[in-house]
């Protein structure tokens, strides 16, 4: 069990700054998800926490102990790799035992620990199979058993579910969270899948270009994105963006572009006119109306995706950008049909297009 602290952590590969000035604190027993697109530095960060990669500068602290120069084993971390990597020529049992190779435990203790770990994740009946004979989900569970058998200070999971099919991913997602809560062990989970991040994390750290873009609870990240990047990365279907300027109309700050104008929410009451802003609206808050009017956007239907309980309308705005709206399941529209959409201004976010940061209210 350990609290993990990363202090001003940097990693440079030749010309490339993989991780820059990263400060991060992970509470004891917390499940932190590092979320970001490939190349954002999340895996590099995890490798440094694990001790597989020495940081260029900065330090890593487990509990009260600085571990920057310690080996992965001394740090007592357990890691589950992408596609649930196991030694391919060893049985599940031997794979799990490998985690205890240096533990100095007696044979009977090792065997008991292996059985316990395997039972915890429900693979006790698979112990004598080779990894090649296991299904993707079974392999993932064996890899998890291999991780928990050491009773590590923290679990590090590097996209362990990425190679699995959607249904299995959903099952294993909840299994992993349940297990983490039962064992109450700190876990860092790296993924590029925002659904995984939202559903699993106590907190989510969104990474971009080697830095932490925003960190917070899933609700925080979803409802109050600090930047356009976070706004666009988190949420499904993805956020709608409208580029335009702020003008004062009838004494009220109003968002204006070539095809629409929206009066801003009262919270923005004192906002001065400015150019180059982006208005963001979640598809869930878009309402489809048939008549143009105050605060509507003209749209041309592009596609409808039926999800069963609801549908997603995808339409082109006059400037060619795609706009998505969540509509009722029975909603019908023809491709190419003209529609209009509006939304409640209090549900819109406002960002500076250039700095990509949220515009203060």
Partner 1 sequence: MSNLQFALLVTVPVLCFLVIVVAYPLGYALWVSFHEVSFFGGYSTEWVGLDNYVAVLEDGDFWRSALLSVRFTVESVIFTMLIGLGLALILRDLRGRWVWLRAILILPWAVSPYGTGILFAFLGRGQSGIGTAFISLFGSEETINLIAANIVVEYLALGNAWNLAPLLAFFLLASMMTTPSRLYDLAAIDQINRFEVFLHVTLPPLRFTFFVFTCIITVLSLKQFDYIFTETQGGPGNASSVLTYQLYKISFVNLELGLGAAMSFYLLFLILAVTLGLYFFWGRREARNA
Binding region for partner 1 (CB under 8 A): 47, 50-52, 71-73, 77-79, 81-82, 85-90, 98-99, 101-102, 130
| Closer Cβ to partner 1, 149 or 271, answer by number | 149
Between CA 13 and CA 19 the distance in angstroms is 9
Between CA 139 and CA 191 the distance in angstroms is 19
| Closer Cβ to partner 1, 51 or 218, answer by number | 51
To partner 1, the closest distance from the beta carbon of 76 in angstroms equals 10
Say which DSSP state 227 is in. B
To partner 1, the closest distance from the beta carbon of 290 in angstroms equals 55
| Closer Cβ to partner 1, 99 or 140, answer by number | 99
Q: Which of 16, 14, 17, 1 is nearest to 58 (CA)?
A: 17
| Closer Cβ to partner 1, 51 or 205, answer by number | 51
Q: Which of 80, 218, 284 is nearest to 162 (CA)?
A: 80
To partner 1, the closest distance from the beta carbon of 196 in angstroms equals 19
To partner 1, the closest distance from the beta carbon of 338 in angstroms equals 52
Distances (CA, A) of 162 to 50, 73, 84, 178, 233: 20, 26, 9, 19, 17
- For 170-219, the DSSP string reads HHHHHHHHHHHHHHT-EEEEEES-HHHHHHH-SEEEEEETTEEEEEE-HH
| Closer Cβ to partner 1, 47 or 342, answer by number | 47
Between CA 119 and CA 112 the distance in angstroms is 10
| Closer Cβ to partner 1, 78 or 279, answer by number | 78
To partner 1, the closest distance from the beta carbon of 164 in angstroms equals 17
- The three-state secondary structure class of 302 is strand
- Quote the tokens at residue 174: 């909840």
To partner 1, the closest distance from the beta carbon of 147 in angstroms equals 9
């Amino acid at each position: 069990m350990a609290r993990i602290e990363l202090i001003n952590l940097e990693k440079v590969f030749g010309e490339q700054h993989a991780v820059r000035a990263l400060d991060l604190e992970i509470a004891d027993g917390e499940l932190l998800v590092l979320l970001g697109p490939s190349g954002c530095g999340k895996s590099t960060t995890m490798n440094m926490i694990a001790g597989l990669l020495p940081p260029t500068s900065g330090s890593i602290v487990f509990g009260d102990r600085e571990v920057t120069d310690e080996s992965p084993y001394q740090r007592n971390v357990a890691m589950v790799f992408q596609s649930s990597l196991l030694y391919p020529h060893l049985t599940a049992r031997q794979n799990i035992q490998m985690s205890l190779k240096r533990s100095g435990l007696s044979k009977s203790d090792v065997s008991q620990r292996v059985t316990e770990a395997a039972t915890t994740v429900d693979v006790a009946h698979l112990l004598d199979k080779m990894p090649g004979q296991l299904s993707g989900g079974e392999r993932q569970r064996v890899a998890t058993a291999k991780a928990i058998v050491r009773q590590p200070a923290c679990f590090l999971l590097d996209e362990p579910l990425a190679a699995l099919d959607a249904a299995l991913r959903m099952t294993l997602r909840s299994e992993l969270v349940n297990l983490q809560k039962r064992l109450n062990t700190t876990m860092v989970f790296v993924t590029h899948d925002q659904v995984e991040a939202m559903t699993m994390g106590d907190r989510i750290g969104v990474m971009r270009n080697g830095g932490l873009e925003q960190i917070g609870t899933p609700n925080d990240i979803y409802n109050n994105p600090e930047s356009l990047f976070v706004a666009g990365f988190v949420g499904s279907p993805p956020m709608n963006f409208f580029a335009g300027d702020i003008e004062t109309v009838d004494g009220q700050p109003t968002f204006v572009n070539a095809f629409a104008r929206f009066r801003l929410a009262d919270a923005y009451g004192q906002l001065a006119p400015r150019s180059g802003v982006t208005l963001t609206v979640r598809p869930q808050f878009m309402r489809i109306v048939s008549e143009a009017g105050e605060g509507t956007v003209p749209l041309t239907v592009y596609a409808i995706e039926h999800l069963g309980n609801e549908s997603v309308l995808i339409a082109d705005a006059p400037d060619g950008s795609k706009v998505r709206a969540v509509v009722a399941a029975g909603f019908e529209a023809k491709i190419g049909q003209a529609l209009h959409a509006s939304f409640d201004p209090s549900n819109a976010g406002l960002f500076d297009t250039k700095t990509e940061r949220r515009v203060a209210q």
